[in-house]
Structure 1
Amino acid sequence: MAKDKQAGAPTLVRDQPAPKIVATTSVLPKPVTTRSSVVEPIRRDTAAALPFGRQNYTLMLAGIGIILAGFFIMSLDKEEFGFGFLGLTLGPLVVMGGFMLEFFAILARPKA
């Protein structure tokens, strides 16, 4: 049995854990500098970032006012069930004009 054992070789005993082998040189990876894949948007002044300009909002408020005026005109009709000129002709034309103004106010390009 003495011949089987080599000089300096560790012997294992059943109750002992195996010895840990530690490398004398450790190779650590170089730190990699990565760039973020998310690109920050270029910020401009806040007035240019808004979807509508001052003129658009003014036209939208005017359109809402005209629509309300058209409904008020329809309610002024004294004929039975609103079958007079105000309820059937003038009021709906004014409301339609207000909706057309709203459509234009939304689609108009804001001035820079």
Structure 2
Amino acid sequence: MANPHFAFTKKNYVLMLIGLGIIILGFTIIGLDKEPHGFGVLGTVLGPIVTLAGFLFQFYAIFHKTENK
């Protein structure tokens, strides 16, 4: 039987784990906001930007193609 072709390589999975870490970091930053209901700078500006960057990094990790030599 021939080698099966997987959709993702090890590098894709490593990049996805990094993206997941960035998303978790963003939600943690939102949770660290001391203002009531998270209406401070951390909860309304910095945390959501980091979280969005994590999701964008996830898209990059999914669509990243490795070069076949």
Query: Same fold by TM-score, threshold 0.5 exceeded?
Result: yes
Matched, 1:66 2:22: yes
Matched, 1:55 2:11: yes
Q: How many Å apart are 1:78 and its aligned residue? A: 0.2
Would the aligned equivalents of 1:53 and 1:111 in 2 still touch at CA under 8 Å? Answer: no
Q: Which has the larger radius of gyration?
A: 1
TM-score, structure 2 normalization: 0.89
Q: Which runs of 4+ in 1 moved over 3 A?
A: none
2:52 is matched with which residue: 75, 91, 96?
Answer: 96
CA distance in structure 2 between the partners assigned to 1:90 and 1:54 by the alignment = 31
Match of 1:31 in 2: none
Identity value in percent: 46
Q: Deviations over 1:29-60 (max 9, x none)?
A: xxxxxxxxxxxxx82x34xx111111111110
Gaps of 5+ in 1: 1-41
Q: How many Å apart are 1:81 and its aligned residue? A: 1.0
Q: How many Å apart are 1:111 and its aligned residue? A: 3.2
Once superposed, what is the RMSD of the aligned Cα atoms? 1.4
Pairs within 5 Å for 1:1-112: 43=2, 45-46=3-4, 49-112=5-68
CA distance in structure 2 between the partners assigned to 1:109 and 1:76 by the alignment = 36
